[in-house]
Amino acid sequence: MKLIIKPEKGFGKIEVELSAEVWSEIEGLSERYGVRPERVIEIALSGEFKEPKGDLEELEKKVMELEKKVWELEKEYASLRFKAYGLSEDNKILAIELSGLIAENNQLRRFLRLPLRRDPELRKLISYYMK
């Protein structure tokens, strides 16, 4: 792999030949930390390394423990979210049916020449559940 480093200003550039091992290591670091391979090279050349404040292995263990807790909570609340989704869909269906019944009621009131009932609070509630 050929690495070409160009300055921001000027014409000079540096060309370096990288072995396949070095390039695969750069790509591994890039995937591990979620950055572009070019950024890994920039960090390596400029020396912008961040030193961990604690024991790295201990921090990784804490991260693993937290991930386990997150997945346990995810399992616990997945069924609740599914039930909540089902209830929201049921509410939406009921709001549609209620809207139709209100329209039918108003049509019958017009036919019987009775005063129409305009209930803005009920309409707001219906529109809330239709979203």
Helices (H), the chain: 20-33, 37-46, 56-111, 120-130
The alpha carbons of the chain give a radius of gyration, in whole angstroms, of: 32
| The two structure tokens encoding residue 54 | 């604690």
Q: Is residue 36 helix, strand or coil?
A: coil
Structure confidence by residue, pLDDT tens digits, 17-37: 888 888 888 889 889 888 888
| Annotated domain spans of the chain | 2-46, 56-130
pTM, entire model: 0.48
Write the pLDDT tens digit of every residue in 69-88: 999 999 999 999 999 999 99
Half-sphere exposure of 15 (CA within 13 A, CB side): 3
